[in-house]
Amino acid sequence: MSRPTVGVSRPGELAAARPRLAVAAGPPLAAFAQWLTELAFAGAGWPELLAALAERTGAACRLVAETGELLAASDGADGPRCAAAPDDVRRALVAQDARRPVPGGRAGGAGVPGGVPTPVRCADGWTGRAVAVGTGSRRLGALLLAEPVTAGQLAFAGAAPTALLIEAVRHESPPPAVRDAATVLRALRDGLGDPAGSPPGPTEAEAGLLRSGETGPSPAGGTGLLRAGEAELLRAGAAHGWRLDQPHAVAGIAYTGAQQRRWASALSWLDRPVLAEGRRAWTLLHGDVEREVTRLRVRLDQIVGGGQVRVVAGSLVTGPARTAVSFRDADRLLRLLLRSSDERPELPFGQAGLAQVLLAVPDERLRWFVHRHLGPIAHRDDLLRTLDCWLATGGSRQAVSERLHLHRNSVGYRVGLIKRLLGVDPLDPQTVAVLRTALAARELLAASEAG
């Protein structure tokens, strides 16, 4: 393991970078954990985080990798002479795993499970108690708190792993598997083309690029995987845990907040690879898709803050040749959700209402349908909003008045104008279905064209 380069702020810089502790009213331990996390997002490195922990606990602390390599220290220790014994570190981490409760808490970090953490001895004779730093199958190493330690000091040490992991993300390059997964997702989004009119299948060299995750010019002139056959995509997907020959759906994720660094960190700690593109990201879901959509959103909300993440799922498909359809559906549903005024955080395909059918209709046909049934009022947003509310409330003038903040007489005037311009009664049962569909089609088109 190569020694990561850790930058230390000059005196005076840390104070300016540190966010103020905003949870003073909460428990001291929770407030300290949040403060450290905010400090990490503000750019503090491991030495600064360890210094803050040492100041709070009154005990020196060190951060070591699983191999025993010293990553950072609060007491000025440096170099191989201060490394920890690898066997001690592994033994301490295994012992802590054995005491760990059943997973299911907050994302990130480790905390201190029941029992006394195992001591770890360093080459310079320094000894500390170990707190594991990792999440899921990914582990950075151990945080050591100098002996002797109290239960209270260890509790504060258990609040530090999340902040240390945030800094770890900045030190590591994306794992090759994640890079390859993003490349496979791009290939699935590009699709296999129409077999009747597509170019010949991949050459052996092109298939090798897919297997290795390398990229090259795409048929459209961009970058990404070269055209690949279905069998190659099946094998490439399986390498990342995706059974493309089984039902699956594309999940589209959007971030509406302003903390790009926090968003990038949140995506890197998901339990599945993603294709990240600015404020949006894409991945594949299996099983109970609606439950998985909620699980994804909750996980991300825990890291970036509630109310800043929107998640959708495209149609359920089977086979890599159909994944592009689910990608297209997810993209349009995500645009639709971001335009929605009700601020709901999720929109799986199964809850998309009329859009479930309209997504499969060519845009040209949708435009014709909208023009045919809404043409005379297509450029009157006031009348379109009134019609939408009128249909949603079953023709209640009072309800429309309250929703649109209009006088009841104004509602009556608008509805009368709609009847004259469209030449239909908006409450006729057959007309209601047509107008609802036309309004949904118009909204879907507007979302798609918004970009």
Q: DSSP letter string over 20-77? A: P---TTS-HHHHHHHHHHHHHHTT--HHHHHHHHHHHHSS-EEEEETT--EEEESS--
Q: How many residues are given for the chain?
A: 451
- pLDDT at residue 222 in the model: 36
User: Are the C-beta atoms of residues 376 and 422 closer than 8 Å to each other?
Assistant: yes
User: Does pTM surpass 0.75?
Assistant: no
Q: What is the dihedral of CA 12, 17, 23, 26, to 10 degrees?
A: -60
Distances (CA, A) of 339 to 103, 149, 335: 36, 54, 6
- pLDDT at residue 1 in the model: 39
- pLDDT at residue 450 in the model: 67
Segments of the chain with pLDDT less than 50: 1-26, 101-114, 175-179, 194-228
Q: How far apart are CA 442 and CA 384, in angstroms?
A: 10
- pLDDT at residue 27 in the model: 54
Q: How far apart are CA 417 and CA 398, in angstroms?
A: 18
Per the DSSP assignment, residues forming a β-bridge with 70 are 64
